[in-house]
Amino acid sequence: MTAFKLFISHSSRLDESEDSDNPEKNPNLKLLFDVMNDIDQEYGNSVEILVDKDEHGLPVGHNWEKRLNEWLAECHAAVILFSKRALDNSNWVKKEAAILSWRRELDKDFILIPVVLHNQTNPDDLAKDLFGTLRINKNQCIRDAETSQDVLNGLKIALGDKATLSAKCKQTPFERLERVLTKLLTNNADTETLEDAWLAIDDPNKPDFHPNSEVKFAHALTRYLLRDGEKCLASFKTVINNIRPKLKQDNATEFLEYIRPLWVDAKAAGCLPLALTHQKFVAQNGNHLPQYTFRRYTERAWPMDNSYKRVYTSTCDEIPLFEQIRDNFKQSKTVTLDPDQCDARINSFDDKILIFIPAFDQDGGGLLEDYELRKKLRTKYPKVIFILGTGETLPEVVAEDIAKVEPPLDKNVEISQMNAEANTDDFLAQFYGN
């Protein structure tokens, strides 16, 4: 049986002194270790604790950022220990909180448990700034936790006992992606072929896996492809090129569709689903919006989910903007709808609607500066996700009703990934003789 994976987000360092790594002199670190011990005593092998501060956590020399990202994708539940430092000074806790909140948006069964520590933070702190935006709900937190037993008692309410925990161990979005990619490989190649493809990978960053069957070889290849989002297209070409007989072309194309957005930062991708929850416009930077970049951001935000409609506009003038939006919805089978009927169709649309409105000057301009038009759009279409392009750079300051897609996109990453995808398309065309 697969263990229930529990991620613990924390910031246990008090400062840069040596005492920060000594649990006897650092109460936050001692609390973390005590919480881990109590969870182990209560749940045993039924729960796998994912944390970066113990002998079973990140090994010395390991690429800790990649491993943390894997844990954030794989966990079935998460605890955030809100010490004062975590709340005020830890960019990593903020990133982890953003990704975990996105996980909860994708999966309503995902369990996210904030823990407010005694004399360090209070529930109202979770309603402010970033954590308020992420809906780290002060009404659903473990309050005034002073001991590890306080934390464990709250966890037991959220998770239940060992006997019922397995029912909560559902496939995560990452595991579903992993399963689909593994199946695409096993449906196209036998054990010997997959073993040859695995052994042919000459990469010092290749995971230390020792597969020994068809499914395990396929799984190892999949994990290799998913390990580094920025390099996965090059890895994909390596794997595809080493599989003979070749994968069916349709399968290779489907494989590419699933992995091509993985270069997008998970925290940034999560801003899109969260924006609708908070009724905010979204400001996104990039030089190749919307033709390439915005498409990959949406694919990353809703992995293996095509239940959304993208709408592109080319103006910030009120009347033509509304006309362009409605043009995408005015045809209903053989009937042409009038403006009111178009609006009704938009507001009752089954799938998510994302409307992209580009920038019109170097600083973004357009809707970034026009609050009245934003108000009209939000009133008219309350269920729509509006994405405002900002051009190459993301403004330092935006209005209260606008959320920034952060971290901002590095234009060098954007162009390198666009080129990598174009090269991969060329490779597949040659590989399959198109």
pLDDT attached to residue 277: 81
- The model's pTM is 0.91
Rounded CA-CA distance 288/302 in Å is: 20
Angle made by CA atoms 60, 63, 66, in degrees to the nearest 5: 140
pLDDT attached to residue 162: 87
Torsion of CA 226, 231, 236, 239, to 10 degrees: -90
- Contact between residue 31 and residue 148 where contact means Cβ atoms under 8 Å apart: yes
pLDDT attached to residue 53: 65
Reduced 3-state DSSP string for the chain = CCCEEEEEECCCCCCCCHHHHCCCCCHHHHHHHHHHHHHHHHHHHHEEEECCCCCCCCCCCCCHHHHHHHHHHHCCEEEEEECHHHHHCCHHHHHHHHHHHHHHHHCCCCEEEEEEECCCCCHHHHHCHHHHHCCCCHHHCEEEECCHHHHHHHHHHHHCCHHHHHHHCCCCHHHHHHHHHHHHHHCCCCHHHHHHHHHCCCCCCCCCCCCCCHHHHHHHHHHHHHHCHHHHHHHHHHHHHCCCCCCCHHHHHHHHHHHCCCCCCHHHHHHHHHHHHCCCEEEECCCCCCCCHHHHHHHHHCCCCCCEEEEECCCCCHHHHHHHHHHCCCEECCEECCHHHHHHHHHCCCCEEEEEECCCCCCCCHHHCCHHHHHHHHHHCCCCEEEEECCCCCCCCCCCCEEECCCCCCHHHHHHHHHHHHHHHHHHHHHCCC
Rounded CA-CA distance 312/208 in Å is: 44
Rounded CA-CA distance 40/325 in Å is: 54
Tell me which of 1.10.3210, 1.20.1270, 3.30.70, 3.40.50 is the CATH number of domain 266-411: 3.40.50
Radius of gyration for the alpha carbons in the chain, expressed in angstroms and rounded: 24
pLDDT attached to residue 177: 95
- Contact between residue 321 and residue 314 where contact means Cβ atoms under 8 Å apart: no
pLDDT attached to residue 131: 78
pLDDT attached to residue 17: 54
78-126, pLDDT tens digit by residue?
A: 999 998 888 887 888 999 999 999 999 888 889 999 999 988 888 888 8
pLDDT attached to residue 55: 44
139-198, pLDDT tens digit by residue?
A: 678 888 999 999 999 999 999 988 888 888 888 999 999 999 999 999 999 999 999 999
Residues in the chain, total: 434
Give the residues of the chain that fall short of pLDDT 50.
Answer: 18, 54-57, 59-61, 363
> Percentage of residues in the chain with pLDDT exceeding 90?
64
**Which amino acid appears at position 210 of this protein?**
H
CATH number of 4-168: 3.40.50.10140
Torsion of CA 224, 226, 227, 230, to 10 degrees: 120
